[in-house]
Copies of this chain bind each other. A is one copy, B any other.
């Protein structure tokens, strides 16, 4: 309804990494297993997050991915601007090229406050906090694996 798979995987992975002890690289394979997501695809996403400075990567034994220093307080908006593109916040819900009060489509003045809510929400959520929420055990980062479902 709102985010591409790529964005979803990126956010899930970043939160998961943020739940892990800082400085200890996390394996792509482990993230993919944990999130139940295609590993080769996730690898591309992590690679891109490295290039954009959110993650550090290390090759070889004891390699993997870490949150870059100071990136614990990265907001989801920062992530989404990378994964969805810089126009993420600028779009008209009907697809018009411009979305301003002066070029309003018939949905504009209803949509605008909702859109602003979404933007505020994304600006307001940070990896750190989401990771802590996950660590309480009250929230899920991925679907329950089949093994965890009640036996048939």
**Using a CB–CB distance below 8 Å, which chain A residues touch chain B?**
1-3, 5, 8, 11-12, 15, 76, 84, 88, 91, 93-98, 103-108, 110-111, 114-115, 117-118, 121, 124-125, 130, 133-134, 138-143
Contacts and interface: CB of A to CB of B under 8 A. Distances in A.
A110 B125 contact: yes
Copies in the complex: 2
- Which 5 pairs show the lowest CB-CB distances between chains A and B? A8-B95, A106-B139, A106-B133, A106-B130, A1-B91
A127 to B, nearest CB: 10
Contact of A114 (B15, B108, B117): B117
Nearest to A118: B114
Contacts of A12: 94-95
Given A93-B2, A106-B15, A121 B125 contact: no
Contacts of A93: 1-3, 8
Contact of A11 (B94, B130, B140): B94
A62 to B, nearest CB: 28
A80 B32 CA distance: 33
Contacts of A107: 76, 125, 130
Given A15-B106, A103-B140, 6 more contacts: A1-B2, A12-B94, A12-B95, A106-B139, A107-B130, A110-B125
A121 B111 contact: yes
Contacts of A118: 1, 114
Contacts of A117: 114, 117
